[in-house]
Amino acid sequence: MTTKYIFVTGGVTSSLGKGIIAASLAKLLQAQGYRTTIQKLDPYINVDPGTLNPYEHGECYVTDDGAETDLDLGHYERFLNVPTSQANNVTTGRIYQSVIEKERRGEFLGKTVQVIPHITDEIKERVQILGNSGDYDIVITEIGGTVGDIESLPYVEAVRQLKWDLGENNAISIHLTLIPYLSAAGELKTKPTQHSVKTLMESGVMADILVCRTEHELPKELRAKLAKFCNVREEAVIQSIDASTIYDVPNLMLEQGLDKVVLKKLNLDSSTPDLTQWNEFLNRHKNPKGEVNIGLIGKYVELQDSYKSILEAFIHAGAENEVKVKIESIHSEYLNDDNMKFKLGHLDGVLVAPGFGERGVEGKISAVSYVREANIPFLGICLGMQMAVIEYSRNVLGLKDANSTEMSEQTPHPVIDLMEEQKSITDKGGTMRLGGWDCELLEGSIASNVYKTKTIKERHRHRYEFNNIYKEKIETAGMKATGYNPDTGLVEIVELPEHPWFVGVQYHPEYKSTVANPHPLFVAFVKAALNHSEKRKGVSMAQE
């Protein structure tokens, strides 16, 4: 079949959850047998979000092919269980970079290079790359930002042209808006939506479907009013009411018939989506039989989005273990040896988060030291793993001032160091060790028991590495390297066999956890936390 395209735009305000709506719709279509993928177009000038601070844009999500992308791609993978790639995330920076490179190569044959048609053509080409691959029946393209923004204009124009080129039943647009509730008047208001649809129309794009974010049920009359003023059918006014979990949204969209309206407009057959596995997960997630407390130690703890994939991986792993994982966010800058017991003593597990730069690292190192001695289950991810190696080197090997050269270039013991090939790199964007790398697991290790296989492939995003010069010394002291890259010999996993559950990984397991495939390492970590909590309960009962 020819690939069908669905464009998702947003109006009135940002943060309406376009990514979740796109992912939920994709889930419903996938569950009816349609091969579906989602793409995000971001209207900022950074070539990719890799250089963005998490305070600006939340987590940077990494794909198998090593693209540094928007966190919405994480939702797409978690919902669909299908990997995304560089083609699934395009920014204005990348579009311009590509057009300017073509201009330098003389590809425009002396023409004046302009926003229309050159930039818009480049956008159209990027949208169709996924469709033309033959891998998908339906491509959903989410356009970042809000309609009416200056930077969104070329994208909306590209949507207008694509809808025209592809024809009515091959490309449709969904507009996501907000219906605010004025509590003083006790009323839901449609005017901002009317204006936003009008703004979209000024650019020549008619919304086929409206998805209305709301805190209260939309009454029938209000839907009729919206339909009339916004040129859509009443059945195409879909309510998106606030949900207690994002994983409820596919079912809420199903109840509203979003999938049916979409398929009808695309001239495709609709059936009842098979959400059996999804609903089993939801059921386990919502009916936990126990609870574990896990500390997430990082420096961006004020912002939920900075550790999005880690938090979601815990939801998947919690459901798998049938427990509620309560996450306590702990700011590493405020941790020190004096308050450690108070801040961490009650926890069933501690995760030391990824990160960059010096701020807060000493608190992370102290935290590792505490959980190592208190036998609390520990998972260190990327920088967290590096902190575990530094802590062990300092406190067990006695290498005072051991450090990563990221934090101290002059350290006498660079147990974490830059690889030779990284030393000459000055550009920050896209130059880390990125994407999927093979890792061989040592038999009998926690990792090999958890993954139940010999070779794994996990995603990376870092510059610094375990320094193999220290490997022998560290291993003799007791910390074991249990996973390594077969081509480079780089250490990817460290463990402490003497500890109940202590694992540090140089890669990011959280990126690969999905509803259908909860990540085995997170599942095992939550299980270890559960064991720890039960053991502790046993001890306190024995004391009573």
Site residues (vs ligand GLN, CB under 6 A):
354-356, 382-383, 406, 461-464
- Smallest gap from Cβ 53 to ligand GLN, in A, equals 13
Q: Cβ closer to ligand GLN: 88 or 309?
A: 309
- Angle at 491 (CA atoms; ends 490, 492), nearest 5 degrees: 110
- Smallest gap from Cβ 381 to ligand GLN, in A, equals 7
Q: Cβ closer to ligand GLN: 197 or 379?
A: 379
510 is catalytic: yes
% helix, strand, coil for the chain, step of 5: 45, 20, 35
Considering the candidates 60, 230, 382, 439, report the single residue annotated as catalytic. Answer: 382
**CA-CA distance, 165 to 159, in Å (whole number)?**
10
Q: Cβ closer to ligand GLN: 59 or 157?
A: 59
Q: What are phi and psi of 65, to 5 degrees?
A: -85, 10
**CA-CA distance, 455 to 534, in Å (whole number)?**
32
- Smallest gap from Cβ 415 to ligand GLN, in A, equals 13
The helix (run of H) or strand (run of E) holding residue 47 is none
Considering the candidates 175, 508, 519, 532, report the single residue annotated as catalytic. Answer: 508
Considering the candidates 285, 312, 510, 532, report the single residue annotated as catalytic. Answer: 510
The helix (run of H) or strand (run of E) holding residue 475 is helix 471-477
Q: Cβ closer to ligand GLN: 96 or 356?
A: 356
**CA-CA distance, 391 to 403, in Å (whole number)?**
9
508 is catalytic: yes
**CA-CA distance, 343 to 371, in Å (whole number)?**
11
The residues with which 175 forms a beta bridge, in sequence order, are 9, 210
**CA-CA distance, 37 to 27, in Å (whole number)?**
9
Q: Cβ closer to ligand GLN: 149 or 333?
A: 333
- Smallest gap from Cβ 406 to ligand GLN, in A, equals 5
Q: Cβ closer to ligand GLN: 238 or 390?
A: 390
- Smallest gap from Cβ 354 to ligand GLN, in A, equals 3
The residues with which 10 forms a beta bridge, in sequence order, are 176
The verdict on whether omega for the bond into residue 377 sits within 30 degrees of 0, i.e. cis, is no
**Residue type for position 1:** M
**CA-CA distance, 509 to 529, in Å (whole number)?**
18
Q: What are phi and psi of 536, to 5 degrees?
A: -65, -40
- Smallest gap from Cβ 98 to ligand GLN, in A, equals 27
Residue 151 · residue 145 · CB < 8 Å = yes
Catalytic residues: 382, 508, 510
